[in-house]
Amino acid sequence: MMHKKLIQSCAVLFILASASADAAWEALPDVAPAPEDNPTTEAKVTLGKMLFMDPRFSSTGTISCNSCHNIMEGGDDSRTFSMGVHGKTGGRNAPTVWNSAFHSVQFWDGRADLLEDQAKGPVTNPVEMGVSEIEQAMDKVRAIPGYKPYFDEAFGKDSMTVDNAAKAVAAFERTLITPNSAYDKYVKGDKDAMSVQQVRGMETFASTGCIACHSGAAFNGPKMEFGQGFYAKFPTFSDKEYDEKYDLSADKGREEATGKASDAHMYRVSTLRNITDTAPYFHNGSVNNLSDAVRVMAKLQLNKDLSDSAVEDIVAFLSALTGEYPEIIMPRLPATSGYSLVADK
């Protein structure tokens, strides 16, 4: 297994990327990978979509997964910080759920290895769904008779468990991928798929050094084994103007999850797929303009000041990474007959 310090540094990748502008451009696969113990099936996806959309097992009956990761839009909520139960807000920007199946680990700080693990986290987070014990949330699901046939079909009899609910949500999320962007078509051979400016931006993206961390099919690092995280330090370089304006160093990043000083300001490298649809940017949602985000990244990660034309070209290239969103039909959620799970008692 690759040593984690090597994974975290990005230094080797930077050297390789700097040595050649001929990056290994990859198209996004049409199917997302799944772990051996949770192969994707239609029954799981159907159940997972329902659970993803259902707010009733949050403590207030008001917050679902889709509340913060709106798949009818960019897979986020367009807010600086998402709003959970009782109007509470957290301290990090909600990342898009689109193409999250291709992340090396989940959450900004990588505290969950798999989508199955991530699906459980927000339920008991006091700011998000606010349930004190995850079994309490599952008890609410069990109390809705209409869910049982879906669990039975997906997992068999007596299968209404927290782990299976998380597996179903993860299976649904693995269908949330957006291939066939202009970039994908271009690297597959259609040289008319991207504009002249987008191609120029692609070359600038590589020669500037962005590809050092934002590589691979999802532009979030090299393909890795499940749970083996690809991290980068952010910010790497200091800039007084940006530090004061965006407060990017206040969050300790992965250190808050591990307690290790060596993990300070380390973050999972984010996907650039559909980035035009997921403003505001960065872990604290402090930058609301993609051109500004490109300038900030160049300065704080590569210690480079980009010209306006270079920024415009890179932004044009990034727009070519927006893929085809699949049609999402909202599910009919099973009802409770003659009583409510969420009414004030």
Tell me what pLDDT residue 23 has. 58
Q: pLDDT at residue 90 above 60? A: yes
SS3 296: helix
Which residues participate in catalysis according to the annotation? 128
First-to-last alpha carbon distance for the chain, in angstroms, is 53
Residue 335 lies in a domain: no
Residue with more model confidence, 71 or 11: 71
Residue 205 lies in a domain: yes
Residue 169 lies in a domain: yes
Residue pLDDT, tens place only, 124-133: 999 999 999 9
Q: Which amino acid is at 208?
A: T
Q: Give exposure, 227-263, as e/b (b: 16+ Cβ within 10 Å).
A: eebbbbbbbbeebeebeeebebeebbbbbebbeeeeb
Q: pLDDT at residue 152 above 90? A: yes
Q: Supply the CATH number for residue 106's domain.
A: 1.10.760.10
Mean pLDDT computed over 259-277: 97
Contact 92, 251 (CB under 8 A): yes
Cis amide prior to 29 (ω within 30 degrees): no
197 plus 245 within the same structural domain: yes
Residue with more model confidence, 15 or 91: 91
Tell me what pLDDT residue 34 has. 96
162 plus 74 within the same structural domain: yes
Tell me what pLDDT residue 7 has. 44
105 plus 169 within the same structural domain: yes
264 plus 314 within the same structural domain: yes
Residue 343 lies in a domain: no
Structure tokens at 141: 């699901």
Mean pLDDT computed over 81-102: 96
SS3 299: helix
Contact 277, 74 (CB under 8 A): yes
Among 119, 152, 173, which residue terminates a domain? 173
23 plus 148 within the same structural domain: no
Tell me what pLDDT residue 223 has. 86
Residue with more model confidence, 204 or 226: 204
d(CA 265, CA 110) in angstroms, rounded, equals 12
The tally of domains found in the chain comes to 2
Please give the DSSP secondary-structure letter assigned to residue 94.
P
Tell me what pLDDT residue 303 has. 98
Residue 68 lies in a domain: yes
196 plus 308 within the same structural domain: yes
Domain with 76 in it? 42-173
Q: Torsion angle of alpha carbons 191, 194, 195, 196, nearest 10°?
A: -60
d(CA 163, CA 25) in angstroms, rounded, equals 36
Find the range with the poorest average confidence among 15-24, 94-103, 144-153, 282-291. Answer: 15-24
SS3 298: helix
Tell me what pLDDT residue 24 has. 83
Residue pLDDT, tens place only, 5-33: 444 444 434 433 443 344 589 999 999 99
Query: What is the model's pTM?
Result: 0.92
Average pLDDT, the chain: 93
Rama region for 341: left / alpha / beta (φ>0; ψ in -120 to 50; rest):
alpha
Among 124, 157, 173, which residue terminates a domain? 173
Q: pLDDT at residue 299 above 80? A: yes
Tell me what pLDDT residue 344 has. 83
SS3 294: helix
Cα 49 to chain centroid distance, Å, stands at: 17
The dihedrals phi and psi of 154, each to the nearest 5 degrees, come to -80, -35
d(CA 169, CA 53) in angstroms, rounded, equals 10
Mean pLDDT computed over 276-291: 98
Residue with more model confidence, 5 or 335: 335
Q: Torsion angle of alpha carbons 90, 93, 94, 96, nearest 10°?
A: 180
Tell me what pLDDT residue 345 has. 64
Residue 78 lies in a domain: yes
Q: pLDDT at residue 292 above 70? A: yes
198 plus 290 within the same structural domain: yes
243 plus 312 within the same structural domain: yes
Q: pLDDT at residue 144 above 60? A: yes
Mean pLDDT computed over 51-55: 98
Residue 326 lies in a domain: no
